[in-house]
A and B are shown apart, each in its own frame.
Chain A
Protein backbone atom coordinates (compact mmCIF):
# COMPACT_ATOMS: atom_id res chain seq x y z
CA UNK A 1 0.00 0.00 0.00
CA UNK A 2 2.67 2.47 1.07
CA UNK A 3 4.97 1.61 -1.79
CA UNK A 4 2.18 1.82 -4.31
CA UNK A 5 1.10 5.23 -3.08
CA UNK A 6 4.62 6.53 -3.26
CA UNK A 7 5.00 5.25 -6.79
CA UNK A 8 1.89 7.04 -8.01
CA UNK A 9 2.94 10.31 -6.43
CA UNK A 10 6.36 10.00 -7.97
CA UNK A 11 4.84 9.93 -11.46
CA UNK A 12 2.72 13.05 -11.03
CA UNK A 13 5.30 15.54 -12.38
CA UNK A 14 5.80 13.69 -15.65
CA UNK A 15 2.10 13.02 -16.12
CA UNK A 16 1.48 16.73 -15.60
CA UNK A 17 4.19 17.75 -18.05
CA UNK A 18 2.81 15.47 -20.73
CA UNK A 19 -0.80 16.49 -20.07
CA UNK A 20 0.14 20.17 -20.21
CA UNK A 21 1.77 19.73 -23.59
CA UNK A 22 -1.10 17.59 -24.82
CA UNK A 23 -3.93 19.94 -23.85
CA UNK A 24 -2.17 23.31 -23.87
CA UNK A 25 -4.14 24.27 -20.78
CA UNK A 26 -3.09 24.03 -17.14
CA UNK A 27 -6.42 23.31 -15.58
CA UNK A 28 -7.56 20.88 -18.25
CA UNK A 29 -4.23 19.11 -17.96
CA UNK A 30 -4.54 18.70 -14.19
CA UNK A 31 -8.09 17.41 -14.62
CA UNK A 32 -6.71 14.83 -17.00
CA UNK A 33 -4.01 13.83 -14.52
CA UNK A 34 -6.57 13.58 -11.72
CA UNK A 35 -8.85 11.35 -13.79
CA UNK A 36 -5.83 9.24 -14.71
CA UNK A 37 -4.74 8.79 -11.10
CA UNK A 38 -8.24 7.91 -10.00
CA UNK A 39 -8.55 5.36 -12.77
CA UNK A 40 -5.12 3.94 -11.98
CA UNK A 41 -6.10 3.39 -8.34
CA UNK A 42 -9.29 1.59 -9.30
CA UNK A 43 -7.52 -0.53 -11.90
CA UNK A 44 -4.32 -1.14 -9.99
CA UNK A 45 -5.07 -4.84 -9.59
CA UNK A 46 -4.66 -5.10 -13.38
CA UNK A 47 -1.08 -3.84 -13.30
CA UNK A 48 1.49 -6.60 -13.76
CA UNK A 49 4.07 -6.32 -10.98
CA UNK A 50 7.52 -5.94 -12.47
CA UNK A 51 6.28 -4.20 -15.61
CA UNK A 52 6.90 -0.52 -16.22
CA UNK A 53 4.51 1.44 -14.01
CA UNK A 54 5.19 4.71 -15.83
CA UNK A 55 4.25 3.20 -19.21
CA UNK A 56 1.13 1.71 -17.64
CA UNK A 57 0.05 5.08 -16.26
CA UNK A 58 0.67 6.78 -19.59
CA UNK A 59 -1.48 4.12 -21.22
CA UNK A 60 -4.29 4.95 -18.81
CA UNK A 61 -3.86 8.64 -19.49
CA UNK A 62 -4.02 8.01 -23.22
CA UNK A 63 -7.27 6.08 -22.82
CA UNK A 64 -8.83 8.71 -20.56
CA UNK A 65 -7.78 11.46 -22.93
CA UNK A 66 -9.13 9.75 -26.03
CA UNK A 67 -12.43 9.06 -24.27
CA UNK A 68 -12.70 12.69 -23.30
CA UNK A 69 -11.91 13.89 -26.78
CA UNK A 70 -14.58 11.57 -28.15
CA UNK A 71 -17.15 12.48 -25.51
CA UNK A 72 -16.69 16.17 -26.28
CA UNK A 73 -16.57 16.75 -22.57
CA UNK A 74 -16.85 20.50 -22.95
CA UNK A 75 -20.50 20.27 -23.92
CA UNK A 76 -21.81 21.25 -20.50
CA UNK A 77 -21.54 24.98 -20.27
CA UNK A 78 -20.58 26.57 -17.02
CA UNK A 79 -21.18 30.30 -17.07
CA UNK A 80 -18.50 30.74 -14.41
CA UNK A 81 -15.74 29.05 -16.31
CA UNK A 82 -13.26 31.78 -17.05
CA UNK A 83 -10.24 29.62 -17.64
CA UNK A 84 -7.79 30.75 -20.21
CA UNK A 85 -4.70 29.19 -21.65
CA UNK A 86 -1.87 30.14 -19.38
CA UNK A 87 1.51 29.34 -20.85
CA UNK A 88 4.41 29.39 -18.43
CA UNK A 89 6.60 32.41 -18.90
CA UNK A 90 10.26 32.05 -19.70
CA UNK A 91 12.98 34.57 -19.28
CA UNK A 92 12.49 37.02 -22.09
CA UNK A 93 9.68 38.32 -24.17
CA UNK A 94 11.21 37.12 -27.42
CA UNK A 95 11.68 33.66 -25.95
CA UNK A 96 8.07 33.59 -24.97
CA UNK A 97 6.80 34.57 -28.38
CA UNK A 98 8.97 32.01 -30.06
CA UNK A 99 7.70 29.23 -27.85
CA UNK A 100 4.09 30.32 -28.07
CA UNK A 101 4.53 29.55 -31.72
CA UNK A 102 5.66 26.05 -30.80
CA UNK A 103 2.59 25.58 -28.61
CA UNK A 104 0.24 26.86 -31.28
CA UNK A 105 1.86 24.60 -33.81
CA UNK A 106 1.63 21.65 -31.41
CA UNK A 107 -2.07 22.21 -30.82
CA UNK A 108 -2.70 22.37 -34.53
CA UNK A 109 -1.45 18.80 -34.94
CA UNK A 110 -4.03 16.00 -34.97
CA UNK A 111 -4.31 14.34 -31.54
CA UNK A 112 -2.70 11.08 -32.63
CA UNK A 113 0.33 12.79 -34.12
CA UNK A 114 0.71 15.09 -31.13
CA UNK A 115 0.68 12.15 -28.73
CA UNK A 116 3.44 10.32 -30.59
CA UNK A 117 5.57 13.42 -30.91
CA UNK A 118 5.30 14.13 -27.18
CA UNK A 119 5.86 10.57 -26.01
CA UNK A 120 9.03 10.39 -28.09
CA UNK A 121 10.31 13.96 -28.07
CA UNK A 122 9.30 15.04 -24.58
CA UNK A 123 8.95 11.80 -22.63
CA UNK A 124 11.87 10.24 -24.50
CA UNK A 125 10.17 6.90 -24.83
CA UNK A 126 11.46 4.38 -27.34
CA UNK A 127 9.26 3.72 -30.36
CA UNK A 128 8.35 0.36 -28.83
CA UNK A 129 7.25 1.96 -25.59
CA UNK A 130 5.19 4.58 -27.42
CA UNK A 131 3.56 1.85 -29.51
CA UNK A 132 2.67 0.03 -26.29
CA UNK A 133 1.18 3.11 -24.64
CA UNK A 134 -0.91 3.96 -27.68
CA UNK A 135 -1.71 0.33 -28.50
CA UNK A 136 -0.75 0.70 -32.17
CA UNK A 137 1.88 -1.08 -34.30
CA UNK A 138 5.34 0.42 -34.34
CA UNK A 139 4.94 1.26 -38.03
CA UNK A 140 2.04 3.51 -37.12
CA UNK A 141 4.18 5.23 -34.51
CA UNK A 142 6.86 5.89 -37.12
CA UNK A 143 4.49 7.28 -39.72
CA UNK A 144 2.73 9.52 -37.17
CA UNK A 145 6.06 10.73 -35.85
CA UNK A 146 7.24 11.50 -39.34
CA UNK A 147 4.09 13.42 -40.23
CA UNK A 148 4.08 15.29 -36.93
CA UNK A 149 7.69 16.41 -37.26
CA UNK A 150 7.32 17.52 -40.85
CA UNK A 151 4.11 19.37 -40.10
CA UNK A 152 5.67 21.08 -37.11
CA UNK A 153 8.65 22.08 -39.24
CA UNK A 154 6.39 23.61 -41.83
CA UNK A 155 4.20 25.53 -39.42
CA UNK A 156 7.19 26.84 -37.47
CA UNK A 157 8.82 27.91 -40.69
CA UNK A 158 5.78 29.70 -42.03
CA UNK A 159 5.39 31.31 -38.59
CA UNK A 160 8.92 32.67 -38.74
CA UNK A 161 8.05 34.74 -41.81
CA UNK A 162 5.34 36.68 -40.01
CA UNK A 163 5.67 39.28 -37.30
CA UNK A 164 5.27 37.79 -33.84
CA UNK A 165 1.66 37.46 -32.79
CA UNK A 166 0.31 37.14 -36.30
CA UNK A 167 0.88 33.47 -36.82
CA UNK A 168 -0.82 31.47 -39.48
CA UNK A 169 -2.73 28.71 -37.77
CA UNK A 170 -3.69 25.87 -40.03
Chain B
Protein backbone atom coordinates (compact mmCIF):
# COMPACT_ATOMS: atom_id res chain seq x y z
CA UNK B 1 0.00 0.00 0.00
CA UNK B 2 1.19 3.53 -0.72
CA UNK B 3 0.51 6.78 1.13
CA UNK B 4 -2.99 6.47 -0.30
CA UNK B 5 -3.90 3.80 2.25
CA UNK B 6 -7.34 4.54 3.63
CA UNK B 7 -8.86 2.98 6.73
CA UNK B 8 -12.26 1.36 6.94
CA UNK B 9 -13.29 4.05 9.43
CA UNK B 10 -12.39 6.72 6.87
CA UNK B 11 -14.56 5.05 4.26
CA UNK B 12 -17.51 5.26 6.63
CA UNK B 13 -16.71 8.85 7.54
CA UNK B 14 -16.61 9.64 3.83
CA UNK B 15 -20.10 8.21 3.38
CA UNK B 16 -21.42 10.13 6.37
CA UNK B 17 -19.82 13.43 5.42
CA UNK B 18 -17.65 13.40 8.52
CA UNK B 19 -14.27 13.48 6.82
CA UNK B 20 -12.12 16.61 7.09
CA UNK B 21 -12.10 18.62 3.89
CA UNK B 22 -8.42 17.99 3.19
CA UNK B 23 -8.77 14.23 3.41
CA UNK B 24 -11.85 13.99 1.21
CA UNK B 25 -10.03 14.43 -2.09
CA UNK B 26 -7.46 11.82 -1.11
CA UNK B 27 -10.14 9.29 -0.31
CA UNK B 28 -11.82 10.03 -3.65
CA UNK B 29 -8.52 9.43 -5.34
CA UNK B 30 -8.12 6.13 -3.54
CA UNK B 31 -11.63 5.03 -4.51
CA UNK B 32 -10.93 5.76 -8.17
CA UNK B 33 -8.49 2.87 -8.21
CA UNK B 34 -10.07 0.57 -5.60
CA UNK B 35 -13.29 -0.44 -7.24
CA UNK B 36 -14.47 -2.91 -4.62
CA UNK B 37 -14.26 -0.30 -1.87
CA UNK B 38 -15.88 2.20 -4.21
CA UNK B 39 -18.82 -0.18 -4.62
CA UNK B 40 -19.17 -0.61 -0.86
CA UNK B 41 -19.16 3.14 -0.40
CA UNK B 42 -21.88 3.49 -3.03
CA UNK B 43 -23.98 0.80 -1.34
CA UNK B 44 -23.61 2.42 2.06
CA UNK B 45 -24.64 5.81 0.65
CA UNK B 46 -27.64 4.12 -0.89
CA UNK B 47 -28.51 2.61 2.49
CA UNK B 48 -28.47 6.04 4.15
CA UNK B 49 -30.67 7.45 1.40
CA UNK B 50 -33.06 4.52 1.67
CA UNK B 51 -33.33 4.84 5.44
CA UNK B 52 -34.25 8.48 5.14
CA UNK B 53 -36.67 8.09 2.29
CA UNK B 54 -38.41 5.30 4.18
CA UNK B 55 -38.60 6.85 7.64
CA UNK B 56 -38.63 10.59 6.99
CA UNK B 57 -42.39 10.55 6.36
CA UNK B 58 -42.79 9.84 10.08
CA UNK B 59 -41.53 13.38 10.74
CA UNK B 60 -44.55 14.79 8.97
CA UNK B 61 -47.13 12.72 10.86
CA UNK B 62 -48.95 14.52 13.63
CA UNK B 63 -47.98 13.04 16.97
CA UNK B 64 -50.67 11.24 18.97
CA UNK B 65 -52.15 13.34 21.78
CA UNK B 66 -50.81 10.94 24.40
CA UNK B 67 -47.26 11.82 23.36
CA UNK B 68 -47.87 15.55 23.55
CA UNK B 69 -49.38 15.02 26.98
CA UNK B 70 -46.36 12.98 28.05
CA UNK B 71 -43.98 15.66 26.73
CA UNK B 72 -45.62 18.40 28.74
CA UNK B 73 -46.37 16.31 31.81
CA UNK B 74 -49.98 17.43 31.62
CA UNK B 75 -52.51 15.28 33.33
CA UNK B 76 -55.91 14.50 32.10
CA UNK B 77 -58.42 17.10 33.26
CA UNK B 78 -58.55 16.91 37.05
CA UNK B 79 -61.63 15.36 38.57
CA UNK B 80 -62.73 15.09 42.16
CA UNK B 81 -61.63 11.77 43.65
CA UNK B 82 -65.22 10.59 43.93
CA UNK B 83 -65.87 11.40 40.31
CA UNK B 84 -62.63 9.75 39.34
CA UNK B 85 -63.70 6.58 41.04
CA UNK B 86 -67.10 6.80 39.44
CA UNK B 87 -65.40 7.29 36.11
CA UNK B 88 -63.27 4.19 36.47
CA UNK B 89 -66.21 2.07 37.54
CA UNK B 90 -68.38 3.65 34.89
CA UNK B 91 -65.94 2.93 32.09
CA UNK B 92 -65.74 -0.68 33.08
CA UNK B 93 -69.47 -1.10 33.54
CA UNK B 94 -70.28 0.77 30.37
CA UNK B 95 -69.96 -0.72 26.98
CA UNK B 96 -68.79 -4.05 28.25
CA UNK B 97 -65.38 -4.81 29.54
CA UNK B 98 -64.08 -6.03 26.21
CA UNK B 99 -64.89 -2.84 24.39
CA UNK B 100 -63.22 -0.70 26.96
CA UNK B 101 -60.13 -2.80 27.24
CA UNK B 102 -59.71 -2.91 23.51
CA UNK B 103 -59.83 0.86 23.50
CA UNK B 104 -57.66 1.17 26.55
CA UNK B 105 -55.06 -1.24 25.33
CA UNK B 106 -54.63 0.53 22.02
CA UNK B 107 -54.56 4.05 23.35
CA UNK B 108 -52.76 3.73 26.61
CA UNK B 109 -50.66 0.63 26.34
CA UNK B 110 -47.23 1.31 27.67
CA UNK B 111 -44.69 -1.47 27.61
CA UNK B 112 -43.31 -0.23 30.89
CA UNK B 113 -46.60 -0.83 32.70
CA UNK B 114 -47.07 -4.13 30.91
CA UNK B 115 -43.66 -5.21 32.19
CA UNK B 116 -44.72 -3.98 35.64
CA UNK B 117 -47.82 -6.20 35.57
CA UNK B 118 -45.67 -9.09 34.42
CA UNK B 119 -43.33 -8.69 37.39
CA UNK B 120 -46.30 -8.46 39.74
CA UNK B 121 -47.56 -11.79 38.44
CA UNK B 122 -44.15 -13.40 38.79
CA UNK B 123 -43.88 -12.14 42.38
CA UNK B 124 -47.34 -13.57 43.07
CA UNK B 125 -46.36 -16.93 41.61
CA UNK B 126 -43.21 -17.03 43.71
CA UNK B 127 -44.65 -16.04 47.09
CA UNK B 128 -48.34 -16.94 47.14
CA UNK B 129 -47.73 -20.72 47.45
CA UNK B 130 -45.13 -20.21 50.20
CA UNK B 131 -46.21 -22.05 53.34
CA UNK B 132 -43.63 -21.13 55.96
CA UNK B 133 -42.40 -17.72 54.79
CA UNK B 134 -45.04 -16.05 52.65
CA UNK B 135 -44.14 -12.59 54.01
CA UNK B 136 -41.20 -10.87 55.65
CA UNK B 137 -43.26 -8.92 58.16
CA UNK B 138 -46.55 -10.33 59.36
CA UNK B 139 -49.91 -8.62 59.86
CA UNK B 140 -49.40 -8.63 63.65
CA UNK B 141 -46.80 -5.88 63.04
CA UNK B 142 -48.91 -3.94 60.56
CA UNK B 143 -47.84 -0.49 61.77
CA UNK B 144 -44.18 -1.42 61.47
CA UNK B 145 -44.78 -2.99 58.04
CA UNK B 146 -46.39 0.19 56.70
CA UNK B 147 -43.72 2.46 58.15
CA UNK B 148 -40.87 0.31 56.87
CA UNK B 149 -42.15 -0.14 53.34
CA UNK B 150 -43.24 3.50 53.10
CA UNK B 151 -39.72 4.52 53.97
CA UNK B 152 -38.14 2.16 51.44
CA UNK B 153 -40.57 2.92 48.62
CA UNK B 154 -40.55 6.63 49.40
CA UNK B 155 -44.14 7.71 49.97
CA UNK B 156 -46.98 7.09 52.35
CA UNK B 157 -48.27 3.64 51.65
CA UNK B 158 -51.65 2.50 52.85
CA UNK B 159 -52.86 -1.04 53.19
CA UNK B 160 -56.43 -1.55 52.07
CA UNK B 161 -58.80 -3.41 54.39
CA UNK B 162 -60.46 -6.20 52.44
CA UNK B 163 -62.43 -7.78 55.30
CA UNK B 164 -65.70 -6.92 53.54
CA UNK B 165 -64.59 -9.31 50.77
CA UNK B 166 -63.47 -11.99 53.21
CA UNK B 167 -59.73 -11.30 52.88
CA UNK B 168 -57.42 -10.47 55.75
CA UNK B 169 -53.85 -9.18 55.64
CA UNK B 170 -51.09 -11.79 55.89
CA UNK B 171 -48.25 -9.27 55.74
CA UNK B 172 -45.81 -7.87 53.24
CA UNK B 173 -42.32 -7.84 51.87
CA UNK B 174 -39.83 -5.67 50.04
CA UNK B 175 -38.85 -6.74 46.52
CA UNK B 176 -36.53 -5.45 43.81
CA UNK B 177 -38.49 -3.95 40.93
CA UNK B 178 -37.19 -2.84 37.59
CA UNK B 179 -36.33 0.64 38.78
CA UNK B 180 -36.02 0.25 42.52
CA UNK B 181 -37.77 -1.14 45.56
CA UNK B 182 -41.29 -2.50 45.29
CA UNK B 183 -43.71 -3.48 48.05
CA UNK B 184 -45.83 -6.60 48.02
CA UNK B 185 -48.76 -7.06 50.40
CA UNK B 186 -50.44 -10.43 50.72
CA UNK B 187 -54.05 -11.15 51.64
CA UNK B 188 -55.80 -14.43 52.28
CA UNK B 189 -59.39 -15.58 52.68
CA UNK B 190 -60.88 -18.34 54.83
CA UNK B 191 -60.26 -20.97 52.17
CA UNK B 192 -56.56 -20.10 51.88
CA UNK B 193 -56.98 -18.24 48.59
CA UNK B 194 -54.29 -15.56 48.37
CA UNK B 195 -54.11 -12.21 46.62
CA UNK B 196 -51.07 -9.97 46.34
CA UNK B 197 -50.97 -6.20 45.91
CA UNK B 198 -47.77 -5.00 44.24
CA UNK B 199 -46.92 -1.31 44.60
CA UNK B 200 -44.18 0.80 43.10
CA UNK B 201 -43.39 4.48 43.30
CA UNK B 202 -42.46 6.99 40.70
CA UNK B 203 -42.04 5.39 37.33
CA UNK B 204 -45.15 6.94 35.87
CA UNK B 205 -45.36 10.00 38.02
CA UNK B 206 -48.22 12.37 37.43
CA UNK B 207 -50.16 9.93 35.33
CA UNK B 208 -53.44 8.22 35.82
CA UNK B 209 -54.82 5.25 34.03
CA UNK B 210 -57.94 3.18 34.14
CA UNK B 211 -57.79 -0.42 35.26
CA UNK B 212 -56.13 -2.76 32.83
CA UNK B 213 -56.41 -6.49 32.91
CA UNK B 214 -54.03 -9.24 31.93
CA UNK B 215 -53.80 -12.92 32.56
CA UNK B 216 -50.64 -14.94 32.66
CA UNK B 217 -50.08 -18.54 33.72
CA UNK B 218 -53.54 -18.73 35.23
CA UNK B 219 -53.02 -15.62 37.36
CA UNK B 220 -55.36 -12.68 36.82
CA UNK B 221 -53.99 -9.21 37.34
CA UNK B 222 -55.58 -5.76 37.35
CA UNK B 223 -53.12 -2.91 37.24
CA UNK B 224 -53.36 0.85 37.22
CA UNK B 225 -51.44 4.01 37.95
CA UNK B 226 -52.71 6.61 40.37
CA UNK B 227 -50.59 9.66 41.05
CA UNK B 228 -47.20 8.62 42.31
CA UNK B 229 -47.91 4.93 42.64
CA UNK B 230 -48.40 2.05 40.28
CA UNK B 231 -50.54 -0.81 41.60
CA UNK B 232 -51.14 -4.38 40.50
CA UNK B 233 -53.45 -6.80 42.26
CA UNK B 234 -52.96 -10.45 41.36
CA UNK B 235 -54.73 -13.66 42.22
CA UNK B 236 -55.68 -17.04 40.92
CA UNK B 237 -59.33 -16.07 40.76
CA UNK B 238 -61.65 -15.09 37.95
CA UNK B 239 -61.69 -11.66 36.43
CA UNK B 240 -65.02 -10.50 37.87
CA UNK B 241 -64.06 -11.43 41.42
CA UNK B 242 -60.69 -9.76 41.06
CA UNK B 243 -62.30 -6.64 39.60
CA UNK B 244 -64.44 -6.40 42.74
CA UNK B 245 -61.29 -6.50 44.83
CA UNK B 246 -59.52 -3.96 42.60
CA UNK B 247 -62.46 -1.59 43.00
CA UNK B 248 -62.33 -1.81 46.77
CA UNK B 249 -58.58 -1.30 46.79
CA UNK B 250 -58.82 1.71 44.51
CA UNK B 251 -61.64 3.21 46.57
CA UNK B 252 -59.81 2.78 49.87
CA UNK B 253 -56.58 4.26 48.58
CA UNK B 254 -58.48 7.31 47.29
CA UNK B 255 -60.77 8.24 50.17
Contact = CB atoms under 8 A, between A and B. Distances in A.
A12 B68 contact: yes
A14 to B, nearest CB: 7
B214 A8 contact: no
A107 interface: no
Interface in A52-97: 64, 67-68, 71, 73-78, 80-81, 83, 88, 90
B101 A80 contact: yes
B207 A38 contact: yes
Contacts of B115: 68, 71, 73, 75-76
B196 to A, nearest CB: 16
A9 B72 contact: yes
A150 B44 CA distance: 8
Contact of B112 (A35, A41, A74, A122): A35
A11 B70 CA distance: 12
Contacts of B112: 35, 38, 64, 68, 73
Given A37-B67, A118-B51, A149 B214 contact: no
B54 A13 contact: no
B66 interface: yes
A37 B111 CA distance: 13
Interface in B161-183: 178
Interface in B80-124: 98, 101-102, 105-106, 109-112, 114-115, 117-118, 121
A67 B180 CA distance: 13
Interface string A43-57: 000000000000000
Contact of A27 (B13, B55, B106, B202): B106
Contacts of B110: 31, 34-35
Nearest to B43: A153
B205 A32 contact: no
The bracket for how many chain B residues form the interface is 35 or more
Contacts of A81: 105
Nearest to B70: A37
Given A12-B68, A38-B70, A17 B59 contact: yes
A104 B204 CA distance: 33
Interface of B is mostly: helix
Contacts of A121: 16, 47-48, 51-52
A132 B9 CA distance: 18
Nearest to B50: A102
B67 A99 contact: no
B111 A33 contact: no
Nearest to B109: A31
Contact of A77 (B70, B98, B215): B215
A124 B45 CA distance: 12
Nearest to B121: A76
Given A34-B67, A35-B110, A68-B111, A152 B61 contact: no
8 contacts: A8-B72, A12-B63, A13-B60, A41-B73, A73-B114, A90-B53, A102-B51, A126-B18
Q: Which 3 A-B pairs have the closest CB atoms?
A: A37-B70, A8-B71, A17-B58
Interface of B: 8-9, 12-13, 16, 18, 40, 43-44, 47-48, 50-61, 63-64, 66-68, 70-73, 98, 101-102, 105-106, 109-112, 114-115, 117-118, 121, 178, 202-207, 214-216
Interface of A: 5, 8-9, 11-14, 16-17, 20-21, 27-28, 30-35, 37-38, 41-42, 64, 67-68, 71, 73-78, 80-81, 83, 88, 90, 99, 102-103, 117-118, 120-122, 124, 126-127, 142, 145-146, 149-150, 152-153, 156
Given A21-B51, A78-B214, A103-B54, 9 more contacts: A31-B110, A35-B110, A73-B118, A76-B214, A78-B105, A80-B98, A102-B47, A121-B16, A122-B48
